[in-house]
Amino acid sequence: MTKQKHTNLTIGAVVALIFLLLYNVSTFAYSCQTIRDDVIRLHIIANSDSDADQQLKLKVRDAVLAECPDIFDGSITPEDAKAKITPEIENLTQIAQTVITENGYNYSVKVTLETEYFATRVYDDSVTLPAGKYLALKIVIGEGVGKNWWCVMFPSLCLPAAEETDTDKLNGIFSKNQKSIVLESEKYEVRFKIVEYAEMLKDYLSKDK
pLDDT digits (tens, 9 = 90+) for 108-152: 999 999 999 999 988 877 889 999 999 999 999 999 999 999 888
**pTM reported for the whole predicted model:** 0.80
Q: 108 Cβ partners below 8 Å, 6+ apart?
A: 97, 142
Q: What is the mean pLDDT of residues 194-200?
A: 85
Nearest to 77 by CA among 114, 30, 32, 39: 39
What letter represents residue 138's amino acid?
K
- pLDDT tens digits for range 22-56: 445 678 888 999 999 999 999 999 999 999 999 99
Query: Side by side, which strands form the sheet with 40-45?
Result: 109-118, 132-141, 40-45, 148-154
* pLDDT, position 170: 83
Q: Compute the distance between CA of residue 88 and CA of residue 86 in angstroms, rounded to an integer.
A: 5
Is residue 45 left, alpha or beta, with left meaning phi > 0 and alpha meaning psi from -120 to 50?
Answer: beta
* 26 burial level (CB within 10 Å; 0-12, 13-18, 19+): exposed
Phi and psi of 149, rounded to 5°? -130, 140
Give the mean pLDDT of the chain.
Answer: 83
pLDDT surpassing 60 at residue 164: no
- Cis status, amide bond into 78, omega within 30 of 0: no
How far is CA 94 from each of CA 86, 100, 111, 140, 152, rounded to the nearest angstrom? 14, 10, 9, 13, 22
* Chain centre distance of CA 182: 11
Q: Compute the distance between CA of residue 117 and CA of residue 150 in angstroms, rounded to an integer.
A: 12
Nearest to 53 by CA among 110, 107, 112, 111: 107
DSSP assignment of 26-56? HHHHHHHHHHHHT-EEEEEE-S-SSHHHHHH
